[in-house]
Amino acid sequence: MKRHHLLFVMTVLVIVVLDQISKVYIDTHMTLHDSIPVVQGFFNITYVRNPGAAFGFLADSTPLVRAFFLIGVSIFASGLIVYYVMKMKTEDILLTYGMSLIMGGAVGNLIDRVRLGEVIDFLDVYISTYHWPAFNVADSAVSIGAVILFYKLIRGQV
């Protein structure tokens, strides 16, 4: 196995495990909509569930449409990422790391969608009454991976 393939697999596994452990902890130790202030006026741990995608996309759709679309997109995107990483001609560690973060996050949220029909979110960032939509470890990994991928794209290294 090539070094960047091992990095890819290990990073995906770490993200999925951290994501699922944090979600199980929140689900078993908090009641839905409970909130614990961490940094007053900026950050809470708030247990919510999101039946849709980012920013509530498709949250009002029927469960069948949501499941078909969101699970299908996750599986398709994951397949593309694996294909791309396996076909990479260079061992670009930063690009591999970015792709593995996206894949790990996608798999973490996919597990929730298959298991629960929705995603557990709990990281609540806000200033005064302006809240960023709650998110989780998987969402964070996807976001960081996307920033890395965007950086590589604008540098012409993808």
Catalytic residue among 19, 112, 121, 124: 121
What gap in Å lies between CA 151 and CA 145, rounded to an integer?
Answer: 10
SS3 57: coil
Give per-residue burial for 87-97: e unless 16+ CB within 10 Å, then b: ebeeebeebbb
Active site residue 112: no
Decide the pairing of beta strands 119-127 and 43-50.
antiparallel
First to last CA, the chain: 22
Catalytic residue among 19, 112, 124, 139: 139
What gap in Å lies between CA 53 and CA 118, rounded to an integer?
Answer: 9
Q: Which tokens is 71 given? A: 């699970």
Q: Which tokens is 93 given? A: 């560690």
What gap in Å lies between CA 127 and CA 143, rounded to an integer?
Answer: 20
Tell me the catalytic residues: 121, 139
